[in-house]
Amino acid sequence: MSEKGILFLEDGTVFEGTLFGAPTSAAEIHRWKEKRDYGYGEVVFNTSLTGYQEILTDPSYYGQIICMTAAHIGNTGTNSEDLESARPWCGGFVIRENSETTSNWRSEQNLQDYLFKMNVPAICNVDTRALTRHLRSKGVLRGILLPAKEKEIAAELLRSLPRFEGRDLIGEVTTREPYLWRSSQYGKAGATAFTSNRKTPTRKFKVVALDFGIKWNLLRALEERGCEIEVVPAKTNAKEILARKPHGVFLSNGPGDPTGAPYAIDAVQQLVGKVPLFGVCMGQQILALALGGKTFKLRFGHRGGNQPVLDHASGCVEISSHNHGYAVDSGSLPKRVEVTHINLNDKTVEGIRVRDADAFAVQYHPESCPGPHDSLIHFDRFIDMMNRNVSKVS
């Protein structure tokens, strides 16, 4: 029998619905809170029409409860090919209608069974349109998923749970040990979808990827372009990275407030000018902080696959995939940093490059999983940068 549930927000607003997925209660949340954010987090909305499995398994959503604005979720089921990491990382999942019938030939499990197996509490039959409008008006709010019968204790329980500003979420999701990336060992997805129009380079480039909460398809896109990748923990220092003699260093996506990871900022600061750098999402924020810039929290963030971004150099607009709650303050950047891309919705910084060093970053997700493929060119730019650097040395 379905249990009535609530999404309780820290401003006292309550959204009613039906619980599904993993069980949630005050007792369950207390049991998990020392290990991971479970049943609570900052409530955010994602405007993507498809790709909910990639969204669920994106480590950048750690510490968040995700509201999908699309009305029907679960239509295509879940499978072992569309994973962005080994498991979901979000604290909860909020949708309008849960499609119990799946209609895709690759489906291996429906959404309900997948969320139950992976310990993700969820709620459906929620007025997600009203919730999204509320978040756009009030800004991001912390929330908690509970059975309706525990409504009276929701406010007290939520007040007892930690806030997220300044918290080192990167340190909670990063790999504990370095490892060599091989696509064949991580899910079944092939890399053909990520191939650009260029031929795979004959030269093999050794790339060290700093794992701030990395998505597998970022690694697949680099591997497809001839890179041999070693993924290292976020706390790996510059000396240890340079000792590996990489042709380039990749700064990954990740969750939360970038100022909560000063060790990553210090490492990148020491890498600028010594090895080519390419950052994505959190990687851009860490690079900007390392260069002396500042970041700030957006009112409700960018999350979805339809964000228009202007490339100043080409004059072209990329429709891009986003998932971030913080942005770079353009006015804080030193003269050596050029803003290369801006968001056409709110004029925030979407790309930067260092004028006197081989280093650049974008705030969005060029691996496009899920999302449009307009931005794959950035991987090719990183390859070109490493190739030029090798040519200079040789």
Q: Evaluate whether residue 165 is within a structural domain.
A: no
Which of 125, 142, 160 is the last residue in one of the domains? 160
Shared domain for 213 and 360, answered yes or no, is yes
- Per-residue model confidence (pLDDT) at position 305: 87
Residue showing tokens 């310990």 = 119
Tally of domains in the chain? 2
Pair of tokens at residue 151: 């409504």
Query: Residue 66's closest CA among 323, 344, 362?
Result: 323
C-alpha to C-alpha distance for 54 and 57, rounded to whole angstroms: 5
Query: Residue 169's closest CA among 90, 51, 231?
Result: 90
Pair of tokens at residue 152: 């009276």
- Per-residue model confidence (pLDDT) at position 184: 73
Q: Evaluate whether residue 232 is within a structural domain.
A: yes
Residues 6+ apart with CB under 8 A from 283: 210, 212, 250, 251, 252, 253, 254, 361
- Per-residue model confidence (pLDDT) at position 372: 77
C-alpha to C-alpha distance for 357 and 274, rounded to whole angstroms: 8
- Per-residue model confidence (pLDDT) at position 141: 96
The amino acid occupying position 15 is F
Which of 128, 160, 192 is the last residue in one of the domains? 160
Q: Evaluate whether residue 247 is within a structural domain.
A: yes
Shared domain for 101 and 183, answered yes or no, is no
The CATH number given to whatever domain includes residue 379 is 3.40.50.880
Residue showing tokens 């009030």 = 138
Q: Let me know: does 176 contact 260? Beta carbons within 8 Å.
A: no
Label the pairing between strands 141-147 and 337-343: unpaired
Shared domain for 149 and 174, answered yes or no, is no
Shared domain for 208 and 149, answered yes or no, is no
Which of 106, 137, 160 is the last residue in one of the domains? 160
Shared domain for 152 and 177, answered yes or no, is no
308: left (phi over 0), alpha (psi -120 to 50) or beta: beta
Q: Where are the beta strands (DSSP E) in the chain?
A: 3-9, 14-21, 40-46, 64-68, 72-73, 92-94, 97-98, 121-124, 141-147, 179-180, 205-211, 227-233, 248-251, 277-280, 295-311, 317-328, 337-343, 349-354, 359-362
Give the predicted TM-score (pTM) of the model.
Answer: 0.93
Q: Could you count the other beta carbons within 10 Å of the beta carbon of residue 304?
A: 22
Residues 6+ apart with CB under 8 A from 61: 44, 55, 89, 90, 255, 323
Shared domain for 364 and 344, answered yes or no, is yes
**Which residues belong to the active site?**
281, 365, 367
- Mean pLDDT split into 10-residue runs, the chain, 394 residues: 91 97 92 83 95 95 96 94 93 95 92 96 98 96 97 95 91 96 67 48 85 96 94 98 97 97 98 97 98 96 93 93 95 97 96 97 90 84 91 58
Residues 6+ apart with CB under 8 A from 371: 48, 51, 305, 320, 321, 365
Q: Let me know: does 125 contact 17? Beta carbons within 8 Å.
A: yes
The CATH number given to whatever domain includes residue 59 is 3.50.30.20
Shared domain for 115 and 264, answered yes or no, is no
Longest C-alpha distance within the chain, in Å?
69
Shared domain for 244 and 298, answered yes or no, is yes
DSSP 367: T
Shared domain for 187 and 332, answered yes or no, is yes
Rg, the chain, Cα only: 21
Shared domain for 142 and 174, answered yes or no, is no
Q: Name the β-bridge partners of 5.
A: 17, 147
Query: Residue 277's closest CA among 389, 131, 169?
Result: 389
Q: Evaluate whether residue 147 is within a structural domain.
A: yes
Residues 6+ apart with CB under 8 A from 353: 337, 338, 340, 359, 360, 361
Domain that holds residue 48: 3-160
Please state, in angstroms and as integers, the Cα–Cα distance from residue 88 to each residue in 91, 107, 141, 367, following that order.
Answer: 9, 17, 21, 18
Residue 357's Cβ-count burial label (10 Å; 0-12, 13-18, 19+) is: middle
- Give the HSE-up count for residue 58: Cα atoms under 13 Å, Cβ half-sphere: 32
